[in-house]
Amino acid sequence: MPGVGTNWAGNVVYGARELLLPTHLGELPGLITSAHRLRAIGSRHSFNDLADSPESLISLQGIPVDLERDVEFDSDARTVRVPGWLRYGDIAALLADRGWALANLASLPHISIAGAVATGTHGSGDRIGSLATQVVALDLVDGTGTHRRIARGDESFEGAVVSLGALGVVTHVTLAVEPDYQVRQSVYEGATWDAVLANLDELTGAGDSVSLFTTWRSPDLVDQLWVKSRQGRDPWTPLDGIVAAAGARHPIPGIDPAPATEQLGRVGPWFARLPHFRLEFTPSAGEEIQTEYLVPREDFPAAIGAIRSLSARIAPLLQVCEVRTVAGDDLWLSEAHGGDVVGIHFTWVRDSEAVAAVLPEVEAALPPTARPHWGKVFADHDRIAALYPRWDDFRALRRSLDPDNRFVNGFIERVGLA
């Protein structure tokens, strides 16, 4: 096998010749400035070559971490500063033990904090932004080997958070925290897409975090509706025809629900309910390819209509499709930049050729406002720049922090950020 192995799902074989594993942060500036081309790699949950490099990859996961010492709380500021290479699942219980929580989590607690932030990864919630919106400050070593701290209020902060790994190696992330809370999770069945479109605000507002799952084997039916609500919120009263699931469910029909977080309305810690999957299990299905498009909320009816029209083409390649909402933000390369969005996420079977063949059809059918998730597989790289009003500003920021293009790779070149 060439390079340094594969991503976690096995659909990407990295082309880098070496994997650099520093044992302390003091090595970083020298490793960066002695490299011609390199990229930082985290938990390997990107499904494209965003994190790859033609020469060197660098991982900080060999640097020892003492959670009690290296996770730094500021109770007055309501922040926590954490090593960026840690996973959300590594810090969640510690936060709760100290009486703190994060506003939201992604469906997987297995992802690295710096990597999730850099790609605009998100959970779900009408009033909750992506994980990047929780960032208060970033510490990084840029392409010149210079240590930088970029914080809210700094001129370049909104550009530096969702960075695609193109500005340097993030060493620490400071996150906003809030008081600890409990969540209950319930799963419902029997919804139709017509009911969803007619009652979108009610359904996506049924809890603090809501997900709709379907296999598209029927263009009319929604297989499951997952509702996650903070304790103290009034329970949702389902619409006619929607009923509580009789037992625990996995998002993918027919799979043992044991890896999924606890349901049936049982209250538990925020970090044990907001993700869909438990940290101790392989998330989702393991061998898969993922794609996601985020559309402005007002364009969602047209987007879901386009997907319904392609359901017969999509369903044979699909494990499951998930629909989630994300509040808008002002981060330059965030998929939710400028307004609230709805994400349409596809978990495909691991057949790269077949998926590559269907994606142009999907993208042609979607509204032109659809932004692909940076860490997932998509087809048309040429149109991406036009979707981001601050694109040129980010290019200028990238060039100022990495004037020798050390962190440029094929992906950055294809989308036009080099």
Give the number of residues written for the chain: 418
Same-domain status, 125 and 260:
no
Residue 244 lies in a domain: yes
Other CB atoms within a 10 A radius of the CB of residue 76 amount to 6
Model confidence at 287, pLDDT cuts 50, 70, 90, reads: confident
Q: Which of 86, 84, 323, 19 is nearest to 196 (CA)?
A: 323
Distance CA 74, CA 133 (A): 18
How far does Cα 397 stand from its chain's mean position?
23
386 token code pair:
């036009």
192-204 average pLDDT score: 97
Last residue of a domain, one of 180, 198, 226: 180
Q: How many domains does the chain have?
A: 2
Same-domain status, 200 and 113:
no
Alpha helices (H) along 161-299: 193-198, 200-204
Tens-digit pLDDT profile for residues 227-270: 999 999 999 999 999 999 999 999 999 899 999 999 999 999 99
Higher per-residue confidence, 285 vs 170 = 170
Distance CA 56, CA 161 (A): 23
Instruction: For CA atoms 266, 268, 270, 272, give the dihedral sign.
Output: negative
Calculate the average pLDDT of the chain: 96
Model confidence at 281, pLDDT cuts 50, 70, 90, reads: confident
pLDDT at 78: 98
CATH assignment of the domain containing 143: 3.30.465.10
Same-domain status, 299 and 229:
yes
Other CB atoms within a 10 A radius of the CB of residue 175 amount to 22
Residue 12 lies in a domain: no
129-139 average pLDDT score: 98
pLDDT over threshold 70, residue 418 = yes
Contact 245, 283 (CB under 8 A): no
Cα dist from 205 to 131, 229, 267, whole Å: 19, 10, 19
Contact 78, 177 (CB under 8 A): yes
Q: In the block, which residue shows the tokens 């790699």?
A: 41
Q: Which of 414, 340, 314, 338 is nearest to 374 (CA)?
A: 414
pTM, 2 dp: 0.96
Same-domain status, 221 and 247:
yes
170-177 average pLDDT score: 98
Same-domain status, 94 and 236:
no
Last residue of a domain, one of 125, 150, 180: 180
Same-domain status, 157 and 196:
no
User: What are the start-end ranges of the E strands in 231-317?
Assistant: 243-244, 267-269, 289-296
Q: In the block, which residue shows the tokens 């999907």?
A: 362
255 token code pair:
């799979």
Domain that holds residue 188: 182-372
pLDDT at 1: 34
Model confidence at 44, pLDDT cuts 50, 70, 90, reads: very high
